[in-house]
């Protein structure tokens, strides 16, 4: 074997996985069909726990100083009331950042390269090499490479997943359609603004180069109607928040509209003999919680630990990787369920509306609530009857 691990896909899941394995002393090949810097269809909020992972990896300051402002607070506006507060700090990381993927993904790829990973850009993997039922390598146009494990970090339409026939489970088809564009010179607030207004979500993320990413989502049932006149429907969504519409009108659009309705929600079988999946390839969901990057960091860390122990003397690689998938699903099932609930854009029940209004009235409670959205407070713990009772009674946590 020329390599211990081959990682296919060099973005927020693949580069950290490769970097961590190389730092642990393994020989790693990282392949991507893109050449970097490269963009991808995605807004780019990194939640505080994601920044905490970057801090652990020694990359926090590189990302924090990459030209996007720190988000001092989140604001979630439901019309009649708004929850607005700083999100809670995690392990020395205090702020979320919204760094353009052209910038973030290059920082991660450079970190992998600096850790000793062999990187090849502009290279497409077309098939896996399988011997005696075990994946032992990858093939592409004019190349073939071998390793003890092949890791698919190759996104929603994963070639690795297709080649091994990995099936989806806990699946809910796409619930929203997403549109976003960048505007220069939008009068700033203190961070991300999320407006949940009936059947539209409007989100503002300040990002690099004095630009703001302005995102609009509608229910998937309205996708065809929306796309008949995207610009008019996008503007109509913004007009539902008049102060936002005024700020956008005074700014300058830079570049085209980005759109996707390809946002299904699922786990995918992510481990088998000689292979594993990480990031969107193994766990995909609607962007409503803006969690894909942070979750990719969590899963990269879990998978790298598992592969390292499996590759170590006396280790059982397949068992270690299977345990990674179990842990991933245990951690993220509640988030997948909450994502689908939020992405359904159903109006909140009277109980939920009362809960949100109570939270909105308390700065401390608002910060705790954002702990759930950013993934640092376990969802079952937060929505446990005792905790909901405490919130509604106004008691301190």
Ligand X SMILES: Cc1cc2nc3c(=O)[nH]c(=O)nc-3n(C[C@H](O)[C@H](O)[C@H](O)COP(=O)(O)OP(=O)(O)OC[C@H]3O[C@@H](n4cnc5c(N)ncnc54)[C@H](O)[C@@H]3O)c2cc1C
Contacts to ligand X by CB under 6 A: 8-14, 31-34, 40-45, 124-125, 153-155, 159, 178, 260, 263, 279-281, 287, 290-294, 296
CB 63 within 8 A of CB 104: yes
Minimum distance between the CB of residue 31 and ligand X, rounded to whole angstroms? 5
Q: Please report how close the Cβ of residue 177 comes to ligand X at its closest, in angstroms.
A: 9
Task: List own/partner pairs for 164-169 with CB under 8 A and 24 or more apart.
Answer: 164/128, 164/135, 164/272, 164/275, 166/268, 166/269, 166/270, 166/272, 166/277, 167/268, 167/269, 168/264, 168/266, 168/267, 168/268, 168/269, 169/266, 169/267, 169/268, 169/269
Nearer to ligand X, 212 or 294 (CB): 294
Comparison of 300 and 311: residue with beta carbon closer to ligand X = 300
Q: For ligand X, which residue has the nearest CB? A: 292
> How near is the Cβ of 136 to ligand X at its closest, in Å?
17
CB of 174 to ligand X, least distance (A): 10
Residue number, 11 or 247, with CB nearest to ligand X: 11
Supply angle C-alpha 243, 245, 250, rounded to 5: 100
Q: Decide whether 287 or 310 has the Cβ nearer to ligand X.
A: 287
Q: CB of 156: closest distance to ligand X in angstroms? A: 6
Q: Which is nearer to ligand X, 53 or 391 (CB)?
A: 53
Cβ closer to ligand X: 83 or 263?
Answer: 263
Cβ closest to ligand X, residue 12 vs residue 304: 12
Q: What is the nearest approach in angstroms of ligand X to the Cβ of residue 256?
A: 14
- What is the separation of C-alpha 12 from the centre of its chain, rounded to a whole number of angstroms? 8
What is the SS3 assignment for 374?
A: coil
Q: Which is nearer to ligand X, 8 or 391 (CB)?
A: 8
Reference 75, options 205, 182, 200; nearest CA is: 205
State the minimum distance, in angstroms, from the CB of residue 57 to ligand X: 15
Q: How far apart are CA 208 and CA 37, in angstroms?
A: 14
Q: Least CB distance from residue 86 to ligand X, whole Å?
A: 18
Report DSSP letters for 140-172, one per residue.
Answer: ETTEEEEEEEEEE---TT-HHHHHHTPPEEEEE
DSSP output for 39-85: --S---EE-HHHHHHHHHTT-HHHHHTSS--B---EEEE-SS-EEEE
Give the count of beta carbons closer than 10 Å to the beta carbon of residue 219: 19
Of 342, 382, 338, give the one whose Cα is nearest residue 175. Answer: 342
């Amino acid at each position: 074997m020329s390599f211990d691990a081959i990682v296919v896909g060099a973005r927020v899941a693949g580069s950290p996985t490769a970097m961590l394995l190389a730092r642990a002393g393994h020989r790693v090949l990282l392949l991507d069909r893109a050449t970097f810097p490269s963009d991808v269809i995605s807004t780019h909020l990194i939640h505080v726990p994601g920044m905490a992972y970057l801090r652990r990896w020694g990359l926090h300051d590189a990302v924090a100083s990459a030209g996007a402002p720190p988000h001092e607070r989140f604001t979630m506006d439901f019309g009649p009331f708004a929850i607005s507060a700083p999100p809670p700090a995690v392990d020395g990381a205090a702020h979320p950042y919204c760094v353009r993927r052209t910038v973030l993904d290059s920082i991660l790829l450079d970190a992998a390269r600096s850790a000793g990973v062999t990187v090849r850009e502009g290279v497409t993997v077309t098939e896996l090499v399988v011997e005696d039922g075990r994946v032992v390598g990858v093939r592409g146009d004019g190349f073939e490479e071998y390793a003890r494990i092949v890791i698919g970090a190759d996104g929603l339409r994963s070639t690795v997943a297709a080649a091994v026939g990995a099936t989806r489970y806990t699946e809910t088809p796409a619930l929203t359609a997403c549109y976003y564009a960048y505007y220069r010179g939008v009068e700033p607030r203190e961070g991300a603004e999320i407006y949940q207004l009936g059947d539209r979500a409007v989100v503002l993320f300040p990002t690099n180069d004095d630009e703001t990413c302005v995102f609009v989502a509608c229910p998937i049932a309205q996708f065809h109607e929306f796309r008949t006149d995207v610009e008019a429907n996008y503007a109509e969504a913004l007009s539902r928040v008049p102060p936002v519409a005024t700020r956008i009108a005074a700014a300058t659009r830079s570049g085209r509209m980005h759109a996707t309705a390809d946002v299904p929600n699922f786990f995918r079988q992510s481990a088998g003999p000689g292979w594993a999946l990480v990031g969107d390839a193994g766990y995909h969901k609607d962007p409503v919680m803006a969690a894909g990057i942070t979750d990719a960091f969590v899963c990269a860390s879990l998978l790298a630990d598992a592969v390292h122990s499996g590759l170590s003397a006396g280790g059982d690689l397949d068992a270690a990787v299977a345990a990674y998938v179990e842990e991933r699903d245990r951690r993220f099932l509640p988030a997948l369920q909450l994502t689908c609930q939020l992405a359904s854009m159903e109006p909140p029940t009277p109980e939920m509306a009362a809960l949100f209004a109570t939270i909105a009235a308390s700065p401390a409670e608002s910060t705790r609530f954002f702990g759930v959205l950013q993934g640092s407070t376990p969802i079952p713990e937060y929505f446990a009857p005792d905790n909901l009772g405490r919130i509604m009674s106004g008691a301190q946590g």
